Amino acid sequence: MDNVNHPKHYENGPFECIELSRLLSSDWGQVVQYCFRWQHKNGVEDLKKALWFINDALDHNVPPIAAWSGENACASHDKADRLLEILATENWADLGRFWRELKHGTAWTVRLALTEKINEIEKDGE
């Protein structure tokens, strides 16, 4: 097991988390990492950390999928969309709605989806 280069909590999904997070801005990359691993590392605390990064992004007007420039911009955006679709379809980490909102919604709807998931988990006592 290589906890530095390939931690299990980032590798056990349908693809390695870094494949998606490297395509995003810093705040949104952190959001993806915390949501990707929450069930395998720190539980709901990781979702709350992700929410903190969403709020920071909203405070600084950072969009969920950053506007890329250059010749690889379309390819990067398309790859992010494909990876988010995989996560949404598989309901990865029981966050299907969150991944769909990250792909199709706004920063506000992403925040709402995650907030509602946190509330559901805390209500159910997971």
Would residue 70 count as lying in a domain?
A: yes
Number of structural domains (the chain) is 1
Rounded distance, CA 98 to CA 67, Å? 20
List pLDDT tens digits, range 14-67. Answer: 999 999 999 998 999 999 999 999 999 999 999 999 999 999 999 999 987 666
User: Does the pLDDT at position 9 exceed 90?
Assistant: no
Would residue 11 count as lying in a domain?
A: no
Would residue 92 count as lying in a domain?
A: yes
Residues 111 and 40: beta-carbon distance below 8 Å:
no
Q: Which two tokens stand for residue 5?
A: 């280069």
Rounded distance, CA 31 to CA 91, Å? 16
Rounded distance, CA 26 to CA 35, Å? 14
Query: What is the per-residue pLDDT for 13?
Result: 83
Query: What is the per-residue pLDDT for 3?
Result: 53
Rounded distance, CA 23 to CA 65, Å? 8
Rounded distance, CA 25 to CA 82, Å? 17
Rounded distance, CA 107 to CA 62, Å? 9
Would residue 7 count as lying in a domain?
A: no
Domain that holds residue 49: 16-124
Rounded distance, CA 101 to CA 40, Å? 22
Would residue 55 count as lying in a domain?
A: yes
Would residue 6 count as lying in a domain?
A: no
Rounded distance, CA 105 to CA 118, Å? 19
Would residue 28 count as lying in a domain?
A: yes
Place of tokens 């955006």: 77
Would residue 3 count as lying in a domain?
A: no
